[in-house]
Amino acid sequence: TGYDIIFFWVSRMIFQSVEFTKRRPFKNVLIHGLIRDEQGRKMSKSLGNGIDPMDVIDKYGADALRWFLSNGSAPGQDVRFSYTKMDAAWNFINKIWNASRFVIMNLDSDVELSLPEASEWQLADKWILSRLNDTVRDVTRLFDSFEFGEAGRALYNFIWNDFCDWYIEMAKENLTGEDEKLKKNTQRILRYVLDQILRLMHPIMPFVTEKIWLSMPHDGASLVVAKYPVEHAEFDNQVAEKDMDNLIELIKAVRNSRSEVNAPMSSAIDILIKTKDDDTRKVFENNVDYINRFCHPKRLEIAADIEAPKLAMTSVITGAEVYLPLADLIDLNEEISRLQKEAKKLESEVTRGEKKLGNEKFVANAPEAVV
């Protein structure tokens, strides 16, 4: 309940319940902030700034509104209603819907509901299950302590970043490859992780999660009565999380270097990885398939004694340095010409600004922010 009606609602319920039934009406009361307009004003008839929840639900759906309200809540703080944040909530639900659709479309009709044997898990499988376990642990603790906003952020990060952006992308080649055993194992892990995500999200997004869950292979009549996820000690794998973090850091470094010089992500390039750390080297050498899939190297070299090329994009990551020779990325003469034009443009803007600041009349009349 809102803090503005503690006396008018909560305390009176307690007084009357104890007086007439000798029992407390409830064990816990969650006191939350008020829902204010985008300017931080309290909604009122006199200001005409009230928002009808039914109008919001008609446009975005009940689950999007529930997500916005729970994810925006923080103890002792009011929530500013924002259509921009409602758009973000709708986008998140759409992300879950599309990811679920991809998983369901790639499941065989006879897919097993259990996980494969742990000995058959690849690095990405170990990583996503360990991250799932972290998320179950964190979200359960946060729900128990009524920190719904923090719980929502933990769910968002796992679903959007770990599951959608990385694991699903890593699973795609297994799903389309010729190794039937690997394909089935990947299907089983995808189904299991999605099932657990839907169970975790159900208290906040009951309608979308129920719809998806009933559309996929499952065990039970309804998600609303399905068991809530619990931790599994056998999923915890800090080594897999560390190794995958190193791989993701490498892939991001290569992508960022490409982006800085506007090089197409699909173009083949030389990638040189210098590392004197044996553990880091083994991670990269044992997972060359992931590097090939996401970085598209023409030549990949991993060694301790690599000499840095004179003209190369350089990235420093945990335990290694990554070099991308510029000759593979850009036309050097064209890039020099582009930078010279950019420098001239910036010099012209600086000169124009200096002239304005040298004009006393302009300085006297211009707004402070402009000066």
Q: What's the token pair of residue 253?
A: 């470094």
193 confidence band (pLDDT: 50, 70, 90): very high
Angstrom distance (rounded) from CA 134 to CA 200: 12
Is pLDDT above 70 for 371? no
Same domain, 295 and 223: no
Single out the residue in 220, 236, 252 at which a domain terminates.
Answer: 236
Same domain, 356 and 246: no
- pLDDT digits 0-9 by tens, 15-54: 999 999 999 999 998 888 888 888 888 888 888 888 899 9
Give the count of domains, the chain: 4
Give the H/E segment covering residue 190: helix 180-201
Residue 178's domain comprises 109-236
What is the phi/psi pair of residue 320, to 5°? -160, 165
- pLDDT digits 0-9 by tens, 297-317: 999 999 999 988 888 889 999
Same domain, 118 and 188: yes
Mean pLDDT of 159-170: 96
Please tell me whether residue 197 adopts helix, strand or coil conformation: helix
Mean pLDDT of 77-93: 93
Mean pLDDT of 196-206: 97
Q: Residue 328, class by beta-carbon neighbours within 10 Å (0-12 exposed, 13-18 middle, 19+ buried)?
A: middle
Angstrom distance (rounded) from CA 250 to CA 318: 9
Among residues 167, 78, 162, 55, the alpha carbon closest in space to that of 122 is found at 167
On average, the pLDDT of the chain sits at 92
Angstrom distance (rounded) from CA 216 to CA 193: 12
- pLDDT digits 0-9 by tens, 224-255: 999 999 999 999 999 999 999 999 999 999 99
357 confidence band (pLDDT: 50, 70, 90): confident
Same domain, 227 and 270: no
Same domain, 192 and 156: yes
pLDDT at 46: 86
Assigned domain for 77 exists = no
Same domain, 210 and 253: no
Q: Which residue has the tokens 């029992």?
A: 23
Among residues 120, 206, 132, the alpha carbon closest in space to that of 163 is found at 132
Angstrom distance (rounded) from CA 164 to CA 210: 19
Q: Which residue has the tokens 């010089």?
A: 261
